[in-house]
Structure 1
């Protein structure tokens, strides 16, 4: 299949469908200019996709497949994704704004999700329960049916794969809605699935606006389970829909993640780790370390080293592989700048950055480090989703914990110290689904990921994610 055979369209029941919805114009974040468009999906297209998924699921093709063969199928999808990498990367860079290196990493991570869950596919099984003489009792792990998945724009392929792969490994059929701000690269997933021999209808792609295609998908009566990553506001709507239909939902709703830096921490290592934790992909990462809570004795030294690290990087288009790349849209850039300005007006100080740069087209925001931030400031409470780091001081560990846990979010957190006893003491008290110790973004596809509090519930990644995509049936037999 040539690259030209991967069109920008919906993929329903094994066929590319233009759709009857409003087409989506795609902008390049590095220039701010439109460069392509993709077909949109209407409510009827969503219905067709759900029906295709239902038909596929009802064939029991994946469920009845020998687990070893299902494993090999997911491995083939991974291989096809890697073969498409040279085509995917430039599309992902242009539509998403990320660097070439980050785009390559995302494609590789996408393939690895299919390998990881392929490796689990032949190890999912029930158990026998002894009930005494005359009885046989056993459990089965049964797929839910049609899994509806709403994918965010920041890591569209990677976040899609972490839900699609375990869903298929358990035998479900999937309908995915691509993000309207970054929808093009998602089409390559359909190509990979087709080339790998996934039965038609088990993977369906809807390309449309959230208010049309997204709402129609999560509210469709034929959907058996929902997976969503995005804002708290949209997550609430999806959960209300799921509650109304009484179906399970997995939601990851963002964060305001904090790293605690104790007095004995290696300040050079902290500076590098914290900078990558907030400035990678322009801060557009759900688990970004947007707050750094530093012991007062080393506060100035840490800030100085972060600023030095920032000045050692370059800003520009992702095609040129700069570290500081644009935000996804003008609205996102304006939001980040507005939060920084409000913080400065409230008494914070910009150690570096604070506003958009001069002389660059596109949606850029200078990497910003704010000092003098207090727990009461808006910048400490709300998710910016941009390259803005808030630095706060503390004098004792109880104060540090109070600041770190003092928001409605609980997605990720961090601890920097050479004292492992103190690290474990702190990790045990942080209200977050993930705790990084001495390296932000430590971990991998193998570890569970999800939030406490309003950062959502349910776990993606790792073996734990498999529980989202199958339900337990007990079979009790009187012999």
Structure 2
């Protein structure tokens, strides 16, 4: 595979430019070594990107295109990603720290979004409304226009694809503000847009600091829709900035999601759910299974299984090997690792028991052992706040009502899960758990086709599924009086 370029530019209006702010170093979290320099955009660069996207939208180059032609462009971006999957995955692993095999899953998932929404670009149809003799009335769907996508560092490539694909499929133009920690892989989406022949300015990809470039983009008067994934405080600030211009926003924020494990659950199968629910991407997933609420009769057995699983995982740099590489990679930065460590240490000081992990590795890089914590109160910090690391908290329950109360006892409501052989119990729990998506007997069940989003402080709006298409269009009604 080729080496990374030493300098990565911003992509605005079809050109690769250095940006007006001082460049930053991008480091490999698995080694701490500097990978390259990344150009940084300032407010003037944001203005230029918005102007380019506005020009393309106002020209009708995308919105007036026959939907099947737009569909082919979006699908083509997915094919470009698949054709370059090896290089993209390598870039992603180097900047984010996840093992190469995990990066390949992310890249494949990103391509799938372009395939899925490209296939639906020509399926958004209005309806005729009967108003009686002498009237013809119908609805139409129109794109918002210029869409801003402020993406997180944990799945930078797939998260951008998740919102960019439906935005383009419905005729919008896009400006992506990449995360400072993981800005590199998104350059491949700009290359994909160029490769399929999208008009210059239809897709713009910039990196910039949140208080400067991010704020300028979220509050720009010529942006028509803001999409954000990240922390609650930043989401609130972005929503405020967008609201000042009466611009809608789609927010996917934090989570403290719980799996309720009943006494009749299949714990052999549940080990796989724990493996991917909390230790995939080193637990840096908004919808991670960060809490397991288990019936007291199975508590000790589940804790033993969770500890054995955590101790069985190999942790280390994952760039040089594929499927034979480590089963968990680095966290994205030393700061993120140390934050997670501090939360585990604080829980231990309050009487919790760390039954596995809980320490950093004595090697270079931002590595944290897969960790399992038990003996905590549902009201404790580690059971209430998002760790965003490979840390599983196990809590016991006695009754179904108590399990639901614990599951719903945080400010978040992103996803949840219930594990039981009793269909009636599962259905009752699925309806009672507060969240935008509930998994029954498989964590992360579903896919691109299923809608995803939060309630409460986990945000609003829905990504994925057909529902996401309607985030990017407005309904217009046309009423004609026939004379």
Normalising by structure 1, what TM-score? 0.98
Give yes or no for contact 1:22–1:208 (8 Å, CA) kept in 2: no
Task: Give distance in 1, aligned partners of 2:5 and 2:108.
Answer: 22
The residue number in structure 2 matching 1:434 is 437
Give yes or no for contact 1:6–1:188 (8 Å, CA) kept in 2: no
The residue number in structure 2 matching 1:332 is 336
The alpha carbon displacement at 1:351 in A equals 0.8
Task: Give distance in 2, aligned partners of 1:353 and 1:169.
Answer: 45
Is 1:136 aligned to 2:140, yes or no?
no
The residue number in structure 1 matching 2:370 is 367
Give yes or no for contact 2:126–2:141 (8 Å, CA) kept in 1: yes
Give yes or no for contact 2:98–2:281 (8 Å, CA) kept in 1: yes
The alpha carbon displacement at 1:7 in A equals 6.5
| SS of residue matched to 1:37 | strand
The alpha carbon displacement at 1:309 in A equals 1.8
The residue number in structure 2 matching 1:287 is 287
| SS of residue matched to 2:8 | coil
Which range moved further: 136-145 or 272-281?
Answer: 272-281
4+ residue runs over 4 A deviation: 2-7
Give yes or no for contact 2:8–2:36 (8 Å, CA) kept in 1: no
Gaps of 5+ in 2: none
Task: Give distance in 2, aligned partners of 1:22 and 1:211.
Answer: 14
Distance change (3 Å), C-alpha of 1:4 and 1:25:
closer
Give yes or no for contact 1:268–1:302 (8 Å, CA) kept in 2: no
- RMSD, aligned CA: 1.4
The alpha carbon displacement at 1:3 in A equals 9.2
Superposition pairs for residues 346-385 of structure 1, below 5 Å? 346-357=350-361, 359-385=362-388
The residue number in structure 2 matching 1:205 is 205
Cα deviation, 1:28-56, whole Å, max 9, x if unaligned, reads 11012222111110110000000000000
Give yes or no for contact 1:272–1:309 (8 Å, CA) kept in 2: no
The residue number in structure 2 matching 1:8 is 8
The residue number in structure 2 matching 1:226 is 226
| SS of residue matched to 1:409 | coil
Give yes or no for contact 2:261–2:294 (8 Å, CA) kept in 1: yes
Give yes or no for contact 2:451–2:464 (8 Å, CA) kept in 1: yes
Is 1:392 aligned to 2:395, yes or no?
yes
Superposition pairs for residues 33-432 of structure 1, below 5 Å? 33-319=33-319, 320=321, 321-357=325-361, 359-432=362-435
Task: Give distance in 2, aligned partners of 1:407 and 1:88.
Answer: 37
Distance change (3 Å), C-alpha of 1:448 and 1:86:
same
**One of 466, 471, 480 as aligned partner of 1:463:** 466
The alpha carbon displacement at 1:272 in A equals 2.4
Task: Give distance in 2, aligned partners of 1:467 and 1:103.
Answer: 29
Task: Give distance in 2, aligned partners of 1:83 and 1:113.
Answer: 15
The residue number in structure 1 matching 2:20 is 20
The alpha carbon displacement at 1:275 in A equals 2.9
The alpha carbon displacement at 1:75 in A equals 1.0
The alpha carbon displacement at 1:310 in A equals 2.1
Distance change (3 Å), C-alpha of 1:451 and 1:308:
same
The alpha carbon displacement at 1:173 in A equals 0.6
Give yes or no for contact 2:256–2:386 (8 Å, CA) kept in 1: yes
Tell me the matched-pair count. Answer: 477
Task: Give distance in 1, aligned partners of 2:63 and 2:312.
Answer: 53
The alpha carbon displacement at 1:311 in A equals 2.4
Give yes or no for contact 1:97–1:317 (8 Å, CA) kept in 2: yes
Task: Give distance in 1, aligned partners of 2:4 and 2:286.
Answer: 33
Distance change (3 Å), C-alpha of 1:209 and 1:5:
same
Task: Give distance in 1, aligned partners of 2:463 and 2:89.
Answer: 25
Task: Give distance in 1, aligned partners of 2:137 and 2:343.
Answer: 58
Normalising by structure 2, what TM-score? 0.97
Cα deviation, 1:52-93, whole Å, max 9, x if unaligned, reads 000000111111111111111111111111111121111111
| SS of residue matched to 1:325 | coil
